[in-house]
């Protein structure tokens, strides 16, 4: 059964035309970037833990607070995520 995600997660695309099988990597990344716990559960049920784990480990961007949450959900250290390594290579300006 196909999951029904909150439409607010996909605010910039036409949700009704989104092929969640063909664009699985995009959907998983967006769910972990903007979704809530129920969206995570539906995502893991539909795509399977292995697919979700692969996508999250290789996603280029997640907000900092979502990196930690995603790492816990897939049972990995945050330092193993590509987006975390990328963030360390591009530090923010020092706030004065």
The total domain count for the chain is 1
Please write the tens of the pLDDT for every residue from 14-38.
999 999 999 999 999 999 999 999 9
The parent domain of residue 50 ranges over 7-89
Residue 60: pLDDT band (50, 70, 90) is: very high
Percent of the chain as helix, strand, coil, to the nearest 5: 65, 0, 35
Q: Is the pTM of this model over 0.95?
A: no
Q: What six digits make up the tokens of 96?
A: 């004065």
Q: Is 94 domain-assigned?
A: no
Q: Is 44 domain-assigned?
A: yes
Q: In this structure, is the dihedral angle defined by the CA atoms of residues 25, 26, 29 and 30, taken in order, positive or negative? A: negative
Q: What is the pLDDT of residue 92?
A: 74
């Amino acid at each position: 059964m196909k999951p029904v995600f909150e439409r607010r997660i996909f605010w910039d695309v036409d949700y009704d035309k989104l092929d969640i099988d063909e664009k699985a990597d995009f959907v998983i990344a967006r769910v972990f970037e903007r979704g809530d716990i129920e969206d995570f559960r539906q995502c893991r049920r539909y795509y399977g833990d292995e697919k979700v784990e692969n996508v999250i480990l290789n996603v280029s961007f997640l907000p900092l607070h979502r990196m930690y949450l995603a790492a816990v959900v897939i049972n990995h250290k945050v330092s193993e995520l590509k987006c975390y390594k990328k963030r360390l290579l591009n530090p923010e300006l020092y706030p004065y």
